[in-house]
Amino acid sequence: MMPSIDICVCTFRRRELADTLRSLAAMELPEGYRIGIICADNDEEPSAQPLVSDLARELSLPVQYVHCPARNISLARNACLDTSSADFVAFIDDDEKATGAWLKRLVETAQATDADVVLGPVKARYGEGAPGWMQVGDFHSTYPVFVQREIRTGYTCNALLSMGAPSIAGRRFSLERGQSGGEDTEFFDQVHGAGGRIAYAPDAWVEESVPSARASFAWLAKRRFRVGQTHGRLLASKRSGVGRVGELARALAKAGYCFTAAGLSAFQPVSRNRSLLRGVMHLGVLSGLVGARELQLYGSVGGQDAA
């Protein structure tokens, strides 16, 4: 039998879902694989079902609709994993578009590296109203972070998972982080901790339009702070009391350094704001290390996140 891939899209009242699904049907498919789509609707009411049903008759790929109400993104992600029986699962967000070779490039990297997870980049597309410094600095695009030449965690906005890998089989996303966010960071951190290898496919692009509600420093700062909180909580779970104090000192020193750098580049908007946002992230690490409540980013009326 041919190996199979399920492309999973979690959605919550987002109009862009139709464009996402159409982009999946239009892309170049990897040869020798059976491809399907699973759409998990996280709304209390099955609001996406009519759209998905209509598109299922239009698209060339089979589409499954799953209703998983709770306004909890982890529940939707887990519903995708529970529904799928495929050899591989790919995740893409419901406000993204797959480029023509997206899935093919992910699969090629998986074949070449035998990695448990393959990540691709997310390219932000800015509207005319976005500030110039934001467009020049490209603050919304997403790339993996390398630590000593390896990737130690990941994200679900562009990922391919080998479901038979021991580090992934049976693993699920934390429901406790389903409204704060960071559930994917924790998931892939645990995959890496279990010996899973995470590879990167730089040509496996997806594109994401940045709506006006996200094109602000305030939105970026909120997101960076929550990212820091997740990192801080993961550090705290791996450190004893003395080790945690050391992490607190490091995060405080890094925050101070970043804010000083921002002051020194006050008249260079890209450098200044990049340093400010890194400083905010380290403040989030401090918050996570001391166990402060994480910001809630999911479950808003307008979409999956607080934007």
Q: 248 lies in which domain range?
A: 217-289
Same domain membership, residue 195 and residue 268: no
* 303 within a domain of the structure (yes/no): no
* 304 within a domain of the structure (yes/no): no
Same domain membership, residue 178 and residue 32: yes
* 267 within a domain of the structure (yes/no): yes
Give how many domains the chain has, as a whole number: 2
* 296 within a domain of the structure (yes/no): no
Same domain membership, residue 264 and residue 203: no
Q: What pLDDT does residue 298 have?
A: 60
* 164 within a domain of the structure (yes/no): yes
Contact 192, 107 (CB under 8 A): no
* 305 within a domain of the structure (yes/no): no
Same domain membership, residue 137 and residue 245: no
Same domain membership, residue 195 and residue 237: no
Model confidence, pTM: 0.92
Q: Which of 160, 185, 212 is the last residue of a domain?
A: 212
Contact 234, 186 (CB under 8 A): yes
* 20 within a domain of the structure (yes/no): yes
Same domain membership, residue 251 and residue 236: yes
Q: What pLDDT does residue 293 have?
A: 84
pLDDT along the chain (307 residues), means of 10: 96 95 96 97 96 94 95 95 98 97 98 98 96 97 95 97 97 88 93 98 97 96 95 90 91 98 97 98 95 72 42
Same domain membership, residue 247 and residue 158: no
Q: How many CA atoms lie within 13 A of 45 on its CB side?
A: 4
Same domain membership, residue 132 and residue 277: no
Same domain membership, residue 124 and residue 77: yes
Q: What pLDDT does residue 182 have?
A: 87
Same domain membership, residue 231 and residue 144: no
Q: Which of 179, 212, 245 is the last residue of a domain?
A: 212
* 300 within a domain of the structure (yes/no): no
Q: Which of 160, 178, 212 is the last residue of a domain?
A: 212
Task: State both tokens at 156.
Answer: 């679900």
Same domain membership, residue 82 and residue 121: yes
Same domain membership, residue 104 and residue 208: yes
